[in-house]
Amino acid sequence: MIPSLKNANKRSPLNLKQRTLFKILISIVFLAIVILGGVLLDEGRIVTNLNERNSAPSLKHLFGTDWLGRDMFTRTVMGLSLSIGVGLIGAIGSTLIALFLGMAAATMGKMADRLISWIIDLFLSVPHLVTLILIAFTLGGGFKGIVIGLTLTHWPSLARVIRAEVMQVRSAEFVQVSQKMGKSRWWIALHHILPHIAPQLLIGFMLLFPHVILHEAAVTFLGLGLSPHEPAIGIILSESMKYLSSGMWWLAFFPGLCLLIVVRTFDQIGENLRVLMTRTHD
């Protein structure tokens, strides 16, 4: 009886790893379908067609049509694809800033550490959305304004995590040996520290993604983000507010639900990656 329990315990981590990988794969496939759908769907379905305006959801129009007869399913998928693209640029920019500042704080001496820690605390003291709105408004909104705003506002938490990880790795024996051999700080950072913090960096990037997408939609909803001519989710939700009192509930329900599903999918990928990395280190 005891050997069978031991065998079950040995198999359970492998099963957990397989389940986690399967969840990650399913999430990635779903997101890939959304992105490809936004690229491949016929743009003719979002042109004005007054003969089919204000249609409720049906087999022909899964998410119904709006006041101009545009297919809401096509608009929603294109909007999600656009939001993912904008979110990707913003998340990559924020991750690079966090990586640079986090490593600089932990490798360039006490003065640099104090200065960067003060900057991190300063940015963390103000809500992301408020700073993002201010930056987007200052830059005149649009694609450039929202991307720069997202890049400059979502790095502080990840930078703090990277700084802590770098300081822990810096005290390792192999790093001390490289220092005694005369290797420069940046050589050690690139060849020793960066490979060790890469998993945490990847997880941080994936967990950052949902916040970036939601904040992009929120700022666009307020009119300070992407152009009104773009089929962005924030614009779709903003326009739909005028027609909800007329009973056209589908204009906001389906785009909002799909946005939450996509955000939750990215969040699940990040959480599953964290579980996978934890089991690998164990």
Provide the residue ranges of all domains of the chain, joining segments of one domain with +: 60-281
Class of domain 60-281: mainly alpha
Highest-pLDDT range among 17-26, 69-78, 166-175, 178-187 = 69-78
Q: For residues 136 and 154, what is the distance between their CA atoms, to the nearest angstrom?
A: 14
pLDDT for residue 282 is more than 70: no
The one-letter code for the residue type at 199 is P
Q: For residues 204 and 197, what is the distance between their CA atoms, to the nearest angstrom?
A: 10
CA distances from 248 to 97, 136, 220, 245, 255 (A): 43, 31, 21, 7, 13
Categorise residue 186: left if φ over 0, alpha if ψ from -120 to 50, beta otherwise: alpha
pLDDT tens digits along 39-64: 888 777 788 888 888 888 888 888 98
Confidence grade of residue 14 (pLDDT, cut at 50, 70, 90): low
Tokens 């599953």 belong to: 272
pLDDT tens digits along 141-194: 788 888 999 999 989 989 988 888 888 887 778 877 877 887 777 787 777 888
Q: For residues 37 and 86, what is the distance between their CA atoms, to the nearest angstrom?
A: 16
3-state secondary structure 104-150: HHHHCCHHHHHHHHHHHHHHHCCCHHHHHHHHHHHCCCHHHHHHHHH
Q: Which of 153, 197, 191 is nearest to 175 (CA)?
A: 191
- Structure pTM? 0.82
Q: Which pLDDT score is estimated for 2? A: 46
CA angle 15, 19, 24 (to 5 degrees): 150
Confidence grade of residue 1 (pLDDT, cut at 50, 70, 90): very low
Q: For residues 68 and 276, what is the distance between their CA atoms, to the nearest angstrom?
A: 47
**What mean pLDDT do residues 126-153 have?**
87
Q: At what angle do helices 142-153 and 128-138 cross, to 10 degrees?
A: 150
Q: For residues 80 and 229, what is the distance between their CA atoms, to the nearest angstrom?
A: 15
